Chain A
Amino acid sequence: MKLTTRKKAMALAGVLTLLVGTPVFGHHSFAPFDMNASMTIKGVVKDFQWNNPHVWIQVMVQGEKGPAVEWSVEATSPAGLNKKGWKPGSIKAGDMVVIEAHPLRDGRHGASLISATLPNGTVLKN
């Protein structure tokens, strides 16, 4: 798992950035996540929750030591993902995926989806 930080020189970046950069709006903002940072999560899908209001991808990430850690990746709504080419069967438990995401600000193992590379190499975005 790799964490990189991209700092943008934009005042009022938190909420207003959503208006510029985030292509999909649900019923709430993605403010709990650090939208100025991105990380890569590579692991095995534990569960793909095609739920309303938000789709969640649970990924087991094996670190260098110790047991695998479960990461929760939040995406937009099923309808929103569907517009980007996702379907309920796009991924399933056992698939190896590589996910780019914005991490939770509070440091827990959660993130907001940017894009996912599926086992067949297809890249789907949030």
Chain B
Amino acid sequence: MTTQFSMTRQVHVGATRLLRSLVVAVPVLLLQAGCAKEQPANATNAAGAVNSVARVEQFAKLPDWSGVWHLVGSPALLEREDAPAFVPGTRNHPPYTAEWEAQYVKDLVNAEHQGDPNYPDQITDTHTLYCAAGMPHVMAGPWEYQFIATPEATTIVVDKETRFIPTDGREFLPEDSMWPILRGWSNGHWEGDTLVVETINVKEGLWGDFTPVKFSSKAKYLERIRSIGPNMIENQVTIMDPVALTRPWTWTKRYERLAAGTWPAEPEVCGNPEDRNPIVDGKLQVVLPGDK
């Protein structure tokens, strides 16, 4: 039987519970409103807290370049895949100035004699000398690639080499702080779904592929990297070299995504105790047991 006393008690208990709920809920609502007002557009506030929704939206704008990719087609720098790469005297090669063309022809002859102990003028592939390809060879080699894209930067991993391409709007460093290096200095931005990359200050004299196709340290490399299918990336590379070339030179490479679950290959190393191909006086050696 419900008495007037018990009804009053029930009302009192219910009001107390409601009041307790409000004591908890109101501050939470106020706090959320305050936080929502403070979230900056870049999705991470000054304290480092991430606005998850905004961050997801930033990533959602990027193409899906997950997984491991491999070069498709010729590992030579060619304007067209069907260009006459191997016909004597007509190999498709950069539009060199007369001076650079003369050196190129000389280098081709000397390059044929790599490893020949009886040929004193042999020259050695720079990929061998540096145990690294550098630009532009690194984007045109028969290797595995990973394209790791975040809103702030894209990192391209090729064997043991990496390319760091910021896309956060930064400027290049001052000229005197960017000495020529193998991979050069890259800066990029997105144009829709295309990653546009400018690379400068690449070390001079690197072979552009497995032949002595070289460029000066004043060359600028402009890349347009984009998906051309669910499992294919295209990289259109234009080289502008005011010292070596008479005009810009463009070639395109494609990379195909390997099967899901592919493990990237072990990167090659050089110069370790197990390396039986040391470089001595700029020349590749082959060490056999018993050699001194």
Query: Which residues in A have some Cβ–Cβ distance to B below 8 Å?
Result: 10-16, 18-20, 24-29, 31-33, 49, 51-54, 56, 58, 70, 72, 74, 77-80, 82-83, 104-106, 108-110
Which of A14, A16, A26 lies at the interface centre, i.e. has the most chain B CB atoms within 10 A of its CB? A16
Chain B residues, CB < 8 A from A105: 115-117
Contact bitstring B85-97, A, C-beta under 8 A = 1, else 0: 1101101000000
Q: Find out whether the CB atom of A25 lies under 8 angstroms from the CB atom of B142.
A: yes
A77 CA to B211 CA, complexed, in Å: 21
Mask, B186-224, CB within 8 Å of A = 1, is 000000000000000000000001110000000000000
Q: Give every chain A residue within 8 A of B284 (Cβ-Cβ).
A: 28-29, 31-32
Shortest Cβ distance from residue B158 to the other chain A in the assembled complex, whole angstroms: 12
Contact partners of A10 in chain B: CB under 8 A = 86
| Min CB–CB distance A109 → chain B (angstroms) | 7
Q: Which B residues, 91 to 137, have Cβ-Cβ distances below 8 Å to chain A?
A: 91, 108, 111-117, 124-125, 127-128, 131-132
What is the size, in residues, of chain B's interface with A at 8 Å between Cβ atoms?
Answer: 44
Q: Is B260 an interface residue (CB 8 A)?
A: no
Q: Are A27 and B131 in contact (CB under 8 A)?
A: yes
Q: Is A29's CB under 8 angstroms from B114's CB?
A: yes
CB distance A15 to B210 under 8 Å?
A: yes
Nearest chain A CB to B136's CB is how many angstroms away?
Answer: 16
Which residue of A has the minimal Cβ distance to B144? A79
Q: Which residues of A lie under 8 Å from residue B274 when comparing CB positions?
A: 49, 51-53
Residues of B contacting A54 in the complex (Cβ-Cβ under 8 angstroms) = 275-277
- B269–A52 contact, CB under 8 A? yes
Contact A14 B86 (CB under 8 A): no
Q: Which of B88, B142, B286, B289 contacts A58 (CB 8 A)?
A: B289
- Is B288's CB within 8 Å of the partner chain A? yes
Is the pair A19, B85 in contact by a Cβ cutoff of 8 Å?
yes
Asked whether A31 lies within 8 Å of B289 as measured between CB atoms, the reply is no
- Is the Cβ of B211 less than 8 Å from the Cβ of A19? yes
Which residues on the B side are within 8 Å of A49 (C-beta)? Answer: 274
| Chain A residues positioned under 8 Å from B209 (CB to CB) | 19
Q: What chain A residues lie within 8 Å of B132 (beta carbons)?
A: 27
Bitwise interface map of B from 7 to 47 toward A, beta carbon under 8 Å scored 1, else 0? 00000000000000000000000000000000000000000
Contact of A20 among B86, B266, B269 (CB under 8 A): B86
| Cα(A43)–Cα(B127), bound, Å | 34
Please determine whether B115 and A31 come into contact, CB atoms closer than 8 angstroms.
Answer: yes
Provide a sorted-by-A list of 16 A–B residue pairs whose CB atoms are within 8 angstroms.
A11-B88, A14-B111, A19-B75, A19-B86, A19-B210, A24-B142, A28-B128, A31-B112, A31-B115, A52-B268, A52-B272, A53-B275, A58-B289, A72-B288, A72-B289, A104-B286
